[in-house]
Amino acid sequence: MTIQVKAEAISLRKKNKQIVQNINFTLEGNKIVGLLGRNGAGKTSLLSILAAFRPATNGQFLLNGEDVFENPKAMEQIIFVRERNVEYETEKVSRWIDTAQQLRPNFDRAYADELAKRFKLPQDSKVSKLSRGMQSALHVIIGLASRAPVTLFDEAYLGMDAPAREIFYEEVLRDFVEHPRLIILSTHLISEMDGLFEEVAIIHEGELLLHEGKEEVLERGYRLTGDAEAVDQLSENKRVLKTESLGGTKSVMVYGELAEKDERLARSHGLEIGTLSLQELFIHLTEVDHHE
């Protein structure tokens, strides 16, 4: 069955504050999507509405054409993995995993046990006694082993050290290849995770800044470096994200299509044309948008 998630004019307001505003997008098929945004941009709120943890003030999330809110059939197909307060949880890790298995029809307990060994997670420990990194590992294990058709990871790696995060990234990709589904990864560690993404959605100040294929986004970002006068000429009327100057040399980051004639002109002036990383584009697109 092809999975389709559709956001229709999603808005959320808390008291007098607008958290997310009029968000529309469609995700179709099995893929890994990066949900990017600065702290407070609205990523967690958006995912919590998709997971039916809360209703939207306006609009709706549809899963294969059905509203997810208060829909047990739809909710069974979605898992929301996030940091949780487990301070008062007295159950052992093994029991927590047992409970998850009972609630999730696609749960693979053998895979959960394999992941516990990879993360060195002690299943005989009480959940409340785990370190923050081990708590994150427990949530990630349940998220991966559940194999829900729609799997949402909301900065689920928080508390993990670099080796544990690397295991997480490896397992997301490995299990996605073996058991394809729609995975949404909310993150601010873009440089570590961008290799996983097929599509990218950027939320900024509660609004959807862009939603496109990752390669399409990257193709529209470039850097021009060289003689300052020539750089100014080539970047005139372009969307310049950042400018750096040193003597008679200038470097600019540009977001927009590099036309063939501009590329030829740049090379004729001896300018260097470089690529931009997804993290660079994210940082400066949100900075520029913030100040406009």
Summarised one tens digit per residue, pLDDT across range 144-170 is 999 999 999 999 888 899 999 999 999
| Extended beta strands in the chain, E state | 4-14, 17-28, 31-36, 58-63, 66-67, 78-81, 150-154, 182-187, 199-204, 207-213, 221-227, 239-246, 249-255, 272-275
Average pLDDT over residues 235-259: 93
**DSSP sequence for 97-109:** HHHHHHH-TT--H
Token pair of 223 as six digits: 């850097």
pLDDT at residue 265 in the model:
93
Question: Distance between CA 139 and CA 103 in Å, rounded?
Answer: 15
Here the tokens at position 157 are 């790696």
The encoded tokens of residue 167 equal 């295991």
Higher pLDDT, 112 or 257: 112
Give the pLDDT confidence of 46-97 residue by residue, as tens digits.
999 999 999 999 999 999 999 999 999 888 899 999 988 888 888 999 999 9
- In tens, the pLDDT along 13-36 reads 998 899 999 999 999 999 999 999
Sorted by where each begins, the domain ranges of the chain are: 4-212, 220-291
CA distance 166 to 192: 9
Please tell me the predicted confidence (pLDDT) of residue 291. 41
Question: Which whole-number Å values give the CA distances from 15 to 19, 50, 199, 270, in the listed order?
Answer: 10, 21, 33, 56
For 105-123, write each residue's pLDDT tens digit: 999 999 999 999 999 999 9
Place of tokens 């046990």: 113
For residue 157, the model assigns a pLDDT of: 87
pLDDT-above-70 percentage for the chain? 98
Mean pLDDT of the chain: 93
80, 110, 219, 266, 276 from 262: Cα distances, Å: 46, 56, 15, 6, 17
- pLDDT, tens digit (0-9, with 9 covering 90-100), for 93-109: 999 999 999 999 999 99
197-209 burial: b if 16+ Cβ within 10 Å, else e = bebbbbbbbbbbb
CATH number 3.30.70 given to 220-291: yes
The pLDDT, as a whole number, for residue 106 is 94
Q: What is the pLDDT of residues 169-188, one digit of tens each?
A: 999 999 999 999 999 999 98
For the segment 244-263, the average pLDDT, to the nearest whole number, is 93
- State the pLDDT at residue 89: 86
Helix (H, G, I), strand (E, B) or coil at 263: helix
Within 10 angstroms of residue 134's Cβ, the number of other Cβ atoms is 21
Output the CATH code of domain 4-212. 3.40.50.300
Complete DSSP assignment for 84-135: ---TT--SBHHHHHHHHHHH-TT--HHHHHHHHHHTT--TTSBGGGS-HHHH
- In tens, the pLDDT along 194-237 reads 999 999 999 999 999 999 999 999 999 999 999 999 999 999 99
